[in-house]
Chains A and B, each alone.
Chain A
Amino acid sequence: MIQHIDVHSVLQESSAGVYTDLVTRPTGRVVRERIQRTIAAGGGAPAVARMDFSGVGCMDYSCADEIVARLVREWPAVLLLRHLTDGHREAIQPVLAAHGLAVLVEQPDGTLDALGTPAAGVELLEQLVTQCLARRLPGGTFALVAT
């Protein structure tokens, strides 16, 4: 149900271990294609793809668009991002907002937050609740049920 993707590892494999920053469209394209292949090899389309950004340095707008926005546009799965830095958020937020898209972000305490267009984010949270993959917590926050 939930596919795990270590973005830093994918970046390292894509660049022969040279890069730690997600910058430039060519790099973003290679990383996205590798992620798509990884998911396809994992047996099809998961309901949630959890992308872990631990160890990823700078991310620019082009890479945010090429990886995150394109995956959201071209994929039925909900993208769940974790270990995002403020810099990653700064790159991803406007790119998603420009397309009316959203992803979910898993906070260190396990709660879920939306990034991108607010209305699209609410839809994603409700979708996960409907699929019994997330639940509402007291106070109106959400958390994953399955890990």
Chain B
Amino acid sequence: MVYQEPGRALNPTLRVGSQVAEVFEIHGRVPKGKPREESDVLLPVTAVRAAEDVHEVVSKIQQRASTILASELQLDPKATMGFAMALSEACQNIVEHAGAGGWVAVQSYHWRRKLARRVVVIAVGDSGVGFRHSLEPTQAKRFGERWGDAAALEAALIQGVSRFRDPGRGQGLAGIRRYLARWDGKIAIRSGTARIAIVPNWDDDVPLKEGLPAFPGAQVLIIIPEQGSAKR
């Protein structure tokens, strides 16, 4: 699915799921009657095209979300600061690598059945070149026959590789990983025909899926659960 001007095509006052459901052609059995999870919009669907948009997003999330993250998800102040950093880095991937605009949304949900806890979800998507195309010039040779969407995602998320040769690059996803490891969070990235995830104990997702329908661009999903009483 490629939104044309997502900032205008999507209504920020409605839940993303309800809008997406309208335009998806759904195959198979639709789980009607499943109760919708309660959600709070921390950041409505927001277009990201340039660095200025990332500044706007970070500024908004700090104003609106800090209290919710601390009070409802019981994240300590360190976690809320890391949250803005993770959000910034996820959005920057669009600006730095996608070659096209994208969008970001942040919502908190109460996952009563799956987790019996609240979670906050960052969703970032773009309709750009995707991970494989972005990394191909510098990484394809290293992977040889293994090179493809899955290998590109592995290189970016697991190995911290960037398309830039600058040794300081690749810090963004590595930082997001560290943050999520600390707060028991999850990240999943879908690009091309593959999807990779770093799966915490509370989730039953698979680390890598291949052979999926081709998706141009990339989708990044970051989930941080409500914290228990354990000190970190």
Contacts and interface: CB of A to CB of B under 8 A. Distances in A.
A103 interface: no
B85 A19 contact: no
B92 A99 contact: no
A91 interface: yes
A26 B77 CA distance: 27
A21 B175 contact: no
Contacts of B89: 60-62
Interface string B135-146: 000000000000
Contact of B85 (A20, A65, A70, A90): A90
Interface residues of B, number: 25
Contacts of A98: 168, 171, 174
Given A87-B82, A90-B82, A24 B88 contact: yes
Contacts of A57: 59, 62
29 contacts: A18-B55, A19-B59, A20-B59, A21-B88, A23-B92, A58-B58, A58-B84, A58-B85, A59-B85, A60-B85, A60-B172, A62-B89, A62-B92, A62-B171, A62-B172, A64-B171, A65-B171, A86-B78, A90-B78, A90-B81, A90-B82, A90-B85, A91-B85, A91-B175, A94-B174, A94-B178, A95-B168, A98-B171, A99-B168
Interface of B: 51, 54-55, 58-59, 62, 77-78, 81-82, 84-85, 88-89, 92, 95-96, 167-169, 171-172, 174-175, 178
